Amino acid sequence: MSEEKKHNKLTTASGRIYVENENSKTVGPRGPILLEDYILHEKMAHFNRERIPERIVHAKGSGAFGTFTVTEDISQYTRAKVFNKIGKKTKVFLRFSTVGGEKGSADTERDPRGFAIKFYTEDGNWDLVGNNTPVFFIKDPKKFSDFIHTQKRDPYTNCKSPTMVWDYWSLTPESLHQVLILMSDRGTPVGFRHMNGYGSHTFSMINAKNEKVFVKYHFKTAQGIKNFTDEEAAQMKSKDLDFAQRDLLEAIDNGDFPKWNMKIQVMTTDQAKKVDFNPFDLTKVWPHSEFPLVDVGVLELNKNPDNYFQDVEQSAFAPAHLVDGLGYSPDKMLQGRLLSYPDAHRYRLGGNYEQIPVNRCPYAVNNYERDGMMRVDGNGGKKPNYWPNSFDDIVVDKQYEEPSEQLEDTIADWYDRNSKVGDNDHYSQPRALFRDVMSKEEQDNTINNTIGAMSGISGPKREVIINRQLCHWFRMDEEFGMRIAKGLGVDINAVMASSAGSH
Ligand code: NDP
Ligand code: HEM
């Protein structure tokens, strides 16, 4: 192709220089308009295509570029090049988000926050697609679409429905841990800079000797945790829907670069067989006392994207995107997500979504995938489009081979039928959070926030749903249950009687 000639004249998308950008071509000054006014067609047609489907979840978000710097040597756990030298810097892109709201929804809604990081490593892009909480509402991906429907709009009223939300949670006891965190003031963080991020799932790392450990990722905010109370969040919602976007953008524009300290928890494969909880259960944390945090590095955001749509809206993260030295785990939720995200991107952005600049690996991409809509990377040029072949020099490098693993177990829909006792303890960890970790003020706020949220339950099943959820709160902590019941004006004796017969 000939070299692009730059000029500063107004043009169509095909480069035709034109003059009239505000008045259509008409028969006489009063019209009608001629069909041949192609510039008018192009402007209207392109405008009609400006919106792409919004993400089915996490639609409202903000993003920025930055740098990850290694501060500690963790080569005993992983051979991943991103971690291979103290002082090593890797470019990142991070997108924060709320979960349930549409693209125009308020940044201060009570909701988990997404914390999705793309590390542009020399061995390919690594996406860590986490949240600001260490756990999640469910532990099996088969439940995800049902769960998310309850967070969206009621099919009849087209309004958000606390009745659907609490109906589902009360019927899904494994949600309790995440629901408690959501009801605490951490459910309404002050923007994105003052919250932690978590990989949440259990992942694995593989070192140069092909030895594997399991890990959890933590990103502790260096700005300190800051949350809105329920009232403050509501006030901010009426004042500035885009508070978190503005806060992040302005901080970075002003050179006040937000940072997070990256840490990992490490569990050996032997320990994973022995711990008295399921280490691959996304509704559980690994206690710090048994699995202490290990320092790894610092993540800093230091550059706002020049164009929101180009980089933030078109960014696409996938938990499946790992690099050598990092691995998955048997966590069922993670396994489900490996499939779901690239599928979502192919629908939202098209089959060649990985060629969009923010998603593109800046290092080598060598494969035999060709063609498809919006193929803009040269499509492999004249090179062969099949493998193996006798013509190109693309090789397989055996040093990247992963250790093989042996699996042996019974195939079944395991969870309800056969799960081990510990897997169904939905109460001990939220109890520890409420009793041992939260301050008195946090406890009081969590209780008030929960009463406020549960007050929205309405309709003929109101009492059933409230009582069912109260049973979970009582099992977690009696005082918590009593205070929620009192706040909702519920007769405790009736709840106790109904609880006697339930699971
Ligand atoms: P620790 O006392 O060692 O850790 C407690 C953790 O809780 C800290 O990481 C702290 O994070 C975090 N925390 C404090 N307040 C809240 C809140 N309102 N909502 C959510 N997290 C909060 O205890 P354990 O490791 O034994 O865990 C006890 C309980 O703490 C767990 O059952 C779990 O509910 C919660 N927790 C545990 C985490 C883990 O990975 N072990 C991670 C986060 C929560 P920070 O330093 O940011 O204040
Ligand atoms: C976004 C599916 C669980 C964090 C998404 C998207 C889908 C999805 C389809 C939209 C992707 C897009 O259009 O770009 C699922 C499924 C899950 C699940 C099927 C469970 C089986 C989780 C969990 C976390 C999480 C457990 C966090 C620990 C995120 C984040 C985004 C997202 C942060 C937004 C990414 C971005 O900023 O573009 N999820 N999700 N999800 N999900 Fe999940």
Closest residue by Cα to residue 317 from 116, 80, 63, 60: 116
What does the chain come to in residues?
503
The ligand 1 atom nearest the CA atom of 287: 25
Mutate to test the pocket of ligand 2, among 51, 55, 285 (most ligand atoms within 8 A of CB): 55
List the catalytic residue out of 125, 131, 278, 449. Answer: 131
Q: Is 51 in the pocket of ligand 1 (CB under 6 A)?
A: no
Q: What is the pLDDT of residues 41-50, one digit of tens each?
A: 999 999 999 9
Distance 99 CA to ligand 2 centre (A): 9
Q: Is 319 in the pocket of ligand 2 (CB under 6 A)?
A: no
What's the pLDDT at 384?
97
Q: Is 181 in the pocket of ligand 1 (CB under 6 A)?
A: yes
Q: Is 183 in the pocket of ligand 1 (CB under 6 A)?
A: no
Torsional class of 146: left (φ above 0), alpha (ψ -120 to 50), beta (otherwise) = alpha
What's the pLDDT at 493?
79
Residue nearest to atom 13 of ligand 2 (CA): 55
Which residues belong to CATH 1.20.1370.20 in the chain?
Answer: 427-500
SS3 479: helix
Distance 113 CA to ligand 2 centre (A): 11
What's the pLDDT at 279?
96
> What whole-number distance in Å separates Cα of residue 369 and Cα of residue 386?
9
Which residues belong to CATH 4.10.91.20 in the chain?
Answer: 1-50
CB within 8 A of 357, min separation 6: which ones?
Answer: 310, 311
Q: Is 316 in the pocket of ligand 2 (CB under 6 A)?
A: yes
Residue 400 is assigned to a ligand binding site: no
Torsion of CA 100, 186, 300, 328, to 10 degrees: -60
CB atoms within 10 A of CB 122: 14
Residue nearest to atom 44 of ligand 1 (CA): 134
What's the ipTM?
A: 0.98
- Give 61-358's CATH code, choosing from 3.40.50.300, 3.10.450.50, 3.40.50.720, 2.40.180.10: 2.40.180.10
Distance 76 CA to ligand 2 centre (A): 31
Mutate to test the pocket of ligand 2, among 341, 346, 353, 359 (most ligand atoms within 8 A of CB): 341
Mutate to test the pocket of ligand 2, among 52, 54, 58 (most ligand atoms within 8 A of CB): 58
> What whole-number distance in Å separates Cα of residue 329 and Cα of residue 265?
14
List the catalytic residue out of 7, 48, 58, 227. Answer: 58
* 366 given a catalytic annotation: no
Helices 478-488 & 462-476 angle (0-180, nearest 10): 150
Q: Was domain 427-500 assigned CATH 3.30.1490.20?
A: no
* 7 given a catalytic annotation: no
Phi, psi of 224 (to 5 degrees): 85, 145
Which residues belong to CATH 2.40.180.10 in the chain?
Answer: 61-358
H or E, element range at 326: strand 326-327
Q: Is 301 in the pocket of ligand 1 (CB under 6 A)?
A: no
Residue nearest to atom 37 of ligand 2 (CA): 95
Closest residue by Cα to residue 90 from 62, 118, 120, 131: 120
Phi, psi of 130 (to 5 degrees): -110, -170
What's the pLDDT at 418?
55
> What whole-number distance in Å separates Cα of residue 141 and Cα of residue 208?
32
Residue nearest to atom 25 of ligand 2 (CA): 130
Stretches in the chain below the pLDDT threshold 50 = 1-2, 502-503
Secondary structure letter of residue 323 according to DSSP: -
Secondary structure letter of residue 2 according to DSSP: P
> What whole-number distance in Å separates Cα of residue 287 and Cα of residue 432?
10
- Asked if 68 contacts 61 with a C-beta cutoff of 8 angstroms, the reply is no
Architecture of domain 1-50: Irregular (4.10)
What's the pLDDT at 404?
87
